[in-house]
Amino acid sequence: MTVEIRVPVLGESVTEATVGQWFKKVGDTVTKDEPLVELETDKVTLEVNAAESGRLDEILAAEGEDVEVGALLGHLTAGAAGATSAAKTEAPKEKAEDKPAAAPAPAAKAEPAQTPAPAAKATSVEVMPAAQKLIDENNLDAGKIRGTGKDGRITKGDVLEALENGGASPAPAAPAATPAPAPAPSGPRPEEAREERVKMTRLRKSIAARLKDAQNTAAMLTTYNEVDMSAMLDLRAEYKDLFLKKHGVKLGFMSFFTKACIAALKETPAVNAEIDGDDLVYKNYYNMGIAVGTDSGLVVPVLRDADRLSFAEVEKGIAELGKKARDGKLSMADLQGGTFTITNGGVYGSLMSSPILNPPQAGVLGMHKIQERPMVIKGEIKIRPMMYLALTYDHRIIDGKEAVTFLVRVKDALEDPQRLLLDL
């Protein structure tokens, strides 16, 4: 029975996707619910799984092609055995030669044919097409290359890095070492090595469009403050082991910042509002967007009704969303409905920055690196772990007084975290 592979419903207002990568080739055996192809939308990357076990017979949408919801991607034959067909696809040229060949002849042909290709497949991790081409050209062993792509896949950059280090394969080690230490000023650099042109992914184009739209639409302004993190660090150090033992999750900073922002949002409701036409919409719920950096770009999954969650539930929810984001498993529902966003540039070492709004939200809080600095406390200079906070807000909705009040309330709650527990 022939089964159609079609583009599924992608989510509200999303009608088109780009074919990212086929995980199977024509003729490969597939099992039910096994990923067949990866689709990139404006917001998430999702996988289309096999509806039945069988054999992939036809691919109609190539990688990089734009497809609409419901479009036909390919066909598979349910229940078909894939062993013979897989052999046909791996060595199509040998099919004609197998007929006159005697028993020992296929063995002689199979050995050299399998030398480059199975070496890459023996690692149990997938190799991206561009990376496989470089591996074949340089006779590398994929098992010695560390994959940094999604699910440990080996990317073109991984292969290039291995070539530079000269440790991926004994054969290319000598030629790879010669250009790296001594870039000759006399000869011109090869033209193809000067730059690389890569098509933007649909997600990256969507991120670019949304950020530019935020700049063009909102009247963005940023106000700053700094927080003494001493009390929070002491509280976390005292209870982190007990917290982990009881709740099974680490006590991080994000639960404190989330709770502090919610308390401040309740006092300054304009920061939790949005503009809809000529109306201001004030939200009486608190869906916190937590920005997560991934290999594909920045995404903002949403922790819903965070005001009703305990510290442990906040930590678990953020950890789960972060893992789904890095694994490319976020759904459209995970990214919708946020009322306020928190982004942490400190994990990358940022000391201070001005975050950009996530429309249609009116505010975003930027966290930064904790750095010890000399501070004057009651006439004495003392070393304190300090963090800069930045609130970017839409001045069309939020006045300066409200923005500063919000940021001061966040600062007060973080410097005296017991206030969060007592709802003060």
Any idea which residues carry the catalytic annotation? 395, 399
Task: Please give the Cα distance from 57 to 306 (Å, whole number).
Answer: 47
The beta strands (E) that lie in 234-315 are given as 273-276, 279-282, 288-290, 292-293, 298-299, 302-303
Secondary structure letter of residue 8 according to DSSP: P
| Cross-strand pairs, 274 | 281
Task: With CA atoms as reference, report the closest residue to 360 among 307, 297, 249, 282.
Answer: 282
Task: Please give the Cα distance from 350 to 368 (Å, whole number).
Answer: 6
Asked whether the beta carbons of 309 and 301 are under 8 A apart, the reply is no
Q: Say how far residue 347 (Cα) sits from the centre of its chain.
A: 15
Task: Please give the Cα distance from 281 to 275 (Å, whole number).
Answer: 6
Task: Please give the Cα distance from 398 to 218 (Å, whole number).
Answer: 11
Please give the backbone phi and psi of residue 290, each rounded to the nearest 5 degrees, phi first.
Answer: -115, 110
Residue 307, token pair as written in the block: 């005001």
- CA distances 190 to 2, 194, 197, 315, 373, Å, are 49, 7, 15, 50, 48
- CA distances 346 to 93, 181, 227, 254, 343, Å, are 55, 34, 14, 12, 9
